[in-house]
Structure 1
């Protein structure tokens, strides 16, 4: 067993023994039913080694982590024109806040808050029916992960549609400013279904490899995005990927990362590893409590922080 494999197993063992695991999301009923004792971790290294521990093969709802892949797809469609409709600054507000939209004339602060992700979904919907748009995203994620078994959890998608009143308000509010071009219910349909994609830690870490490899699917493999774009997506993940706790995550972990209220986090150590962790209990900011702690342990032990060893 390599030192990294042992470290991954040791971190999982430590997380399994902790009593304070945060609180599962309750506003989406299927997420409220998930056992908070789950913990999974997968590290895929630049050399291609895969290290698994805990519930790393148990599927979970990736929720807002899907925004990374949807953003990648939207940038491939419209390039820099995207930034006329969504900003690139940390929000400092809750992921589903409507307050900033009023002050900033319907332009969301960044593509990882819900309002920004709705604009991205609207971009990806252009020229397609909603079913086609979500199918394109799902195929893209399957390609990245090299796994055709990845699917949408239809029960979660229905629950998103039945309970997503704040997102419905955000979409309609941006429509009033002209920043949602399609009928809001169509854009919302794409967004709700992308959030309902289910993946396990191994699949998620594999799907994130292009951000570790500078935009390549694998070393010497096909180019997914230009290296400059991969670097910029990583920058957005570092500064905006954990909503109003993005600064704290950068301080503690020091890696680009994107969280979801299903308890997952995708983290990237550029040139070193793609990492996925899942623990469904959330902290007060809506990020995985033990997932964040596990990534902090991993970054400390490996020195993978983008800010250097220390």
Structure 2
């Protein structure tokens, strides 16, 4: 059989083609010449499968969709504390090119508007990097996010840089306030060059799924940035990624996202999906008209809103049963997270305090996060303290075994918050 997913995407594509309102970004001469009727979309799944329809292979410049990825690079290179000292994470409610700063400190509101994005651009790489070295490193890492080598549209770069004066004014304020340490023209050149990187909707789907996948590219399987960086970036995308329509987007679509005046939109829902759309007609906020409508449809039809009530993450936790040898058996199926691990601990709590062997079977557990791992191990330790011989069946070897029922080998967890992960 053929999966119906491409048919579904094609149906969205056809229905959204009737949205012809909006205009291309005419204030940038090269962008003003694009075909306004292009429309492509792609989704990337956690296993790396990509579905695409329409003009998903058409090339365009990434523009402001580069901002979350460059923010991720700055976080990776400088750390959260340093980056937070230079760029805030508060929604501005202002247009992307507004002079939006903290009235007391002069710090830019967030890294998704131009002021903040120019600042985070300057935080990538080593402080002594030349503008070209920094720019080349950014393009190299953007390529890692996409899983292929990306290039710069030199015509768009020249066209945008020749109209750089507002961004230079923003960068000059950042230099005056001490938030960037290089010449404003150099900062804006590098920022403009990152915006002129050529991508496709398919690239954007893979790039967004890399963020949604904890920093591991689902196609190449290479780690691009640490998991904590993705959590931070997606949090800022959710509240600031769609400029002064971020509140409407979070309410109606509910997927962390970022748009660009080149017509691209990314959506990244942690652990579930990466979305990339391309259509050049923009609304008054600078967001792709058809892209916004397509993302609304996907979110609504597929139940992907971040506030959607999730399906139960555990299918079954066996009641106390017995193995052939008389041991008490607790079989777990599904994902082991805090709420499901709490249910496992309550099952273990029901076991009488005696010398009976307890077998905990994780064969059909699909995923164990850090908290689920810590809680399970603490439960095993306490069973041992109660006098039970504990056997752990974990064919994927995700949780350290009690080692031949030696209860002293089960780690003691006094404080779940301070416990060091194995």
- TM-score scaled by structure 2? 0.70
Q: Which moved more, 1:213-222 or 1:65-74?
A: 213-222
Q: Is the 8 A contact 2:19 2:289 kept in 1?
A: no
Q: Is the 8 A contact 1:21 1:36 kept in 2?
A: no
1:184 deviates by 1.1
* Mapping 1:1-310, distance limit 5 Å: 1-16=2-17, 18-80=18-80, 81-98=82-99, 100-101=100-101, 103-124=103-124, 126-148=127-149, 150-218=150-218, 221-308=221-308
1:24 deviates by 0.6
Residue by residue, what CA displacement relative to the aligned partner does 1:62-103 show, whole Å, maximum 9, x if unpaired? 1001111111111111112100111001010111111x3372
Where do 5+ consecutive residues of structure 1 fail to align? none
Aligned length: 307
Does the C-alpha gap of structure 1 residues 220 and 24 become closer, same or farther in structure 2, counting only changes over 3 Å? closer
Does the C-alpha gap of structure 1 residues 309 and 7 become closer, same or farther in structure 2, counting only changes over 3 Å? farther
Q: Which moved more, 1:110-119 or 1:44-53?
A: 44-53
Residue by residue, what CA displacement relative to the aligned partner does 1:25-76 show, whole Å, maximum 9, x if unpaired? 1111111111111101001111322111110000111100111111111111
Aligned mates of 1:225, 1:62 — CA distance in 2: 19
RMSD of the TM alignment (CA)? 1.7
Q: Is the 8 A contact 1:7 1:298 kept in 2?
A: no
Aligned mates of 1:200, 1:223 — CA distance in 2: 21
Partner of 2:355: none
Aligned mates of 1:7, 1:140 — CA distance in 2: 32
Aligned mates of 1:290, 1:19 — CA distance in 2: 6
**1:108 aligned counterpart, secondary structure:** coil
Q: Which moved more, 1:156-165 or 1:121-130?
A: 121-130
**1:36 aligned counterpart, secondary structure:** coil
- TM-score scaled by structure 1? 0.94
1:153 deviates by 0.5
Aligned mates of 2:304, 2:206 — CA distance in 1: 18
Aligned mates of 1:15, 1:74 — CA distance in 2: 36
Q: Is the 8 A contact 2:209 2:217 kept in 1?
A: yes
Does the C-alpha gap of structure 1 residues 155 and 180 become closer, same or farther in structure 2, counting only changes over 3 Å? same
Aligned mates of 1:206, 1:60 — CA distance in 2: 16
Aligned mates of 2:113, 2:217 — CA distance in 1: 26
1:166 deviates by 1.0
Q: Is the 8 A contact 2:212 2:273 kept in 1?
A: yes
Does the C-alpha gap of structure 1 residues 145 and 134 become closer, same or farther in structure 2, counting only changes over 3 Å? same
Aligned mates of 1:104, 1:268 — CA distance in 2: 33
1:198 deviates by 1.1
1:217 deviates by 2.5
Moved over 6 A (4+): none
**1:187 aligned counterpart, secondary structure:** helix
1:113 deviates by 0.3
With CA pairs under 8 Å and 6+ residues apart, which has the higher RCO, 1 or 2?
1
Aligned mates of 2:235, 2:289 — CA distance in 1: 22
**1:208 aligned counterpart, secondary structure:** helix
**1:124 aligned counterpart, secondary structure:** coil
